[in-house]
Structure 1
Amino acid sequence: MSSGAVLLLRLAGPLQSWGDQRALVARRTSAHQPTKSGVVGLVCAAVRHDRDASPARYADLRFGVRVDQPGTLLRDYRVVSDFRGGDILSTTVNAKGVQKSTGNATNESVRYYLQDAVFVAALEGERSLLEDVDAALRSPVYTLSLGRKCCPPSLPLTLGLREGTVESALAAEEWHARPQYRRSLKTGASVALDSSWDSPTGEHILHDQPVSFDPMARRFTTRQVHREHLPVLTGKPDDGNVHDPLALLGW
């Protein structure tokens, strides 16, 4: 039996969008960080795991994520119409298999994206399985995306395997924020990065544990998550200048 390991992923690109609630045609939101269902879906695409098969093999991996660069929210307002002047067709079909009409000549929708964000995600589990996932992510079967097909990832996507646990790997990994973002922050020798990971005693409940990716029967359940800020080295010297506003009040 092979030992355990942690696979680290660098999730970065111009746009990302991680759905954290039921998708609506007119409004599609994004979570502020990658969801477990989104990252497991990314892995399933890389290894060519059938969508109608259970994703439990990958969904059972322990998951964590660190926010290295939070990015900003982008709102995309869309208007769609039929160039022939007719009504927009629905995604549903009638008994004869013909698409139904929506009854509207124009459809409006709003979609949200994270722009210029960088995350480090971690998957913990059996080493042999993670080695296969690592190899697949370097040479994926299907096109990979950061939540939606219009959001391709930048390279490198995989950072390789590490020893230890999700939390220890996230704490030890170098800061992957872009140089422009680093210069915009006034930091010392370390920076506290928002991080979270699966924990049976976690104080937060998220509804992004995938049960089925079948397009006709998509299902998710909840998972418990612990969240804290991990100190990560910045590479800057420690100038010893600690900002303590309460010191001005004599505390």
Structure 2
Amino acid sequence: MTVVALRLAGPLQAWGSRSRFVRRETEKAPTKSGVIGMVAAAKGVRRTDPLEELTDLRFGVRIDQPGQLLRDFQTAQRPKKEKDGTTSWSSLPLSQRYYVSDAVFLAVLEGERRLVEDIDEAVRSPEFPLYLGRRSCPPAGPVALGVYDHTLEEALASLPWMASTRSQRRHHANTVRLTTVRDAHPDEADGELVRDMPVSFDPNRRQHTWRTITRETVEIDNPQGTAEKTEEHDPMASLGG
């Protein structure tokens, strides 16, 4: 199989899957809906266009740098024309918006080579601006990491750790264990259901459905690791002849 890899990093990210009314939440990792939406924007897909070609791709994400949860309070006012011709302003309800700050994720899409190569090219030269879940969250640095002849699982377990150098130096060990979240295989019975599979981005009838995910951990080399490997102590060695 072939995969396209994406680096999702920025000051703020917001990957909502259950936002309602004035409370806009975020997941701790990118959603399939959010990443497919970003890819669709890069390819110039309109909100009313069909999405089956993209949603059929297998999706996975690795949490390279989890970041911090941030809550922001927002309010707004709207004008109202009075009978005497003057304009008054009425306040809208205070909203709570949640973000993930200072996070870095590896996102991987698996599918046919032609399609993943098209995605890689589109992300490098997008038709519409790219953002990390919300329009107020632009990516920091290049998003495209290239196309690889790997399965989804192989890519998540082998591509280099992309956390900041400062974060890598905090982990003195030569390897680090990272959490991954990926589309489950049909025969995996212990999966978890999440509702972030896009059916339509049409503003008049936006729809999402359920998908099954699997959470795992992978061990990745730490290029900034400083821990020295020591031989295991054998208390019986001194008794040998």
Match of 2:238 in 1: none
1:24 maps to 2:13: no
1:145 to 106, 112, 131: 131
Q: Over alpha carbons, which structure has the higher Rg?
A: 2
Check the 8 A contact 1:196/1:225 in 2, yes or no: yes
Q: Which amino acid aligns with 1:174?
A: P
Gaps of 5+ in 1: 88-104, 243-251
**Alpha-carbon distance in structure 1 between the residues aligned to 2:69 and 2:182:** 23
**Alpha-carbon distance in structure 2 between the residues aligned to 1:227 and 1:195:** 6
Deviations 1:97-135 (A, max 9, x none): xxxxxxxx3421110000000000000000011111111
Give how far 1:237 is off: 5.1
**Alpha-carbon distance in structure 1 between the residues aligned to 2:13 and 2:21:** 18
- Normalized against structure 1, the TM-score is what? 0.83
Match of 1:204 in 2: 192
Match of 2:88 in 1: 85
Give how far 1:160 is off: 0.2
2:140 to 154, 174, 185: 154
Match of 1:247 in 2: none
Q: 1:80 to 1:175 in 2, by over 3 A?
A: same
- Output the aligned Cα RMSD: 1.6
1:190 maps to 2:193: no
1:7 to 1, 4, 7: 4
1:219 maps to 2:236: no
3-state SS in 2 of match to 1:107: coil
**Alpha-carbon distance in structure 1 between the residues aligned to 2:101 and 2:194:** 23
Give how far 1:182 is off: 1.6
1:169 maps to 2:155: yes
Q: Which amino acid aligns with 1:211?
A: V
Q: Percent identity?
A: 43
Check the 8 A contact 1:81/1:107 in 2, yes or no: no
Match of 1:68 in 2: 64
Check the 8 A contact 1:11/1:146 in 2, yes or no: yes
**Alpha-carbon distance in structure 1 between the residues aligned to 2:135 and 2:89:** 28
Give how far 1:240 is off: 3.4
1:36 to 23, 32, 36: 32
**Alpha-carbon distance in structure 1 between the residues aligned to 2:55 and 2:78:** 40
Give how far 1:217 is off: 0.8
Q: 1:241 to 1:194 in 2, by over 3 A?
A: farther
- Normalized against structure 2, the TM-score is what? 0.87
**Alpha-carbon distance in structure 1 between the residues aligned to 2:181 and 2:131:** 22
Gaps of 5+ in 2: 80-86, 232-241
Give how far 1:50 is off: 1.7
2:229 to 240, 244, 247: 240
Give how far 1:241 is off: 6.4
Aligned residues: 220
**Alpha-carbon distance in structure 2 between the residues aligned to 1:106 and 1:153:** 29
Check the 8 A contact 1:33/1:67 in 2, yes or no: yes
Q: Which amino acid aligns with 2:106?
A: V
